[in-house]
Amino acid sequence: MTAPLHLLRAEDPAAQPATLTFASPLGEMRLAAFDDGLCGAWFVDQSDVIAEGRQQHHEAEARILAQARLQLEQWYAGERETFDLPLAPRGTPFQRQVWDGLLTLPFGTTTTYGDLAHRIGRPRSVRPLALALSRNPISIIIPCHRVIGFDTALTGFGGGLKRKRALLIHEGNRYPGHAARTRRVCDGQAELALEASADSLAWATYRQAIAQ
C-alpha cells in the first residue's frame, strides 16, 4: 500500500507528488497528483496541507493537475456539479471505503455520520468514520462538506466551518425545495443565498459570509 502523504519522506523528491497552487474564491488551494491520479486538494491554510511538491511534472501529473484546476474553477462558477477526474487518495482500506461512500452523495444533498455509516455497510463504525472524514485529502471533490450532524448542526471540516457553510450555501441554492434544509444547516446564513438566483449569486457574497 502506498504511504499516506504525510509519511512520504521530504528528502526523497521522487516520492513527493507534483503540486499546483491556485487562487479560488474561498482562498488559495493546493492540488497534488501522482501519475495514477489526484491525491490531494486542500486550502493552503489547512493544518494538514502538504508543502509545495515537485514543480517538474510528469505528463500525466500535469494533465491531472490542469484538469482538476479547471473543473474546480467550473464548479465554483456554477458550471459543474460533478467531477470527472482520476482520484488516487492515499489512505487505509477503511478510509478509502469512507471516501468512496462520499462520492455517492449528489451535489445539493447532505447526510449524517450515521446515515453515511449505514450507506457504506458499516453502521457501527460512526466514530472511525468521522476520523476518516477528518483525514479526507481531497476537499470538495471528495465531498466531506456534505456530512452534517444528526441535528443538522455544522460539524468539523478541514477548511473551517465558515468555508463549509459557504460550500453548503453554494450547493443548496442550486436546488429549489432544498432551501429549508440549507437554512437549518447554515445557521441563518442561507438568507444570503436566498436573496439572489443561482445564476447571479457572486462568490463575493460567500466571502462576505465566511468573513462574519
pLDDT for the residue numbered 204: 60
Catalytic residue selected from 26, 85, 144, 192 = 144
pLDDT for the residue numbered 205: 55
Alpha-carbon distance 114 to 116, whole Å?
5
Q: Is 144 a catalytic residue?
A: yes
CB 138 within 8 A of CB 158: no
pLDDT for the residue numbered 79: 93
Residue 158 burial (CB count, 10 A): 21
Q: What's the DSSP call for residue 54?
A: B
Q: What is the pLDDT along the chain (212 residues), one digit of tens a residue?
A: 344 444 343 445 567 899 999 999 999 999 999 999 999 999 999 988 888 877 778 899 999 999 999 999 999 999 999 999 999 999 999 999 999 999 999 999 999 999 999 999 999 999 999 999 999 999 999 999 999 887 777 777 888 888 988 898 888 744 333 444 444 444 444 333 333 333 334 456 555 655 55
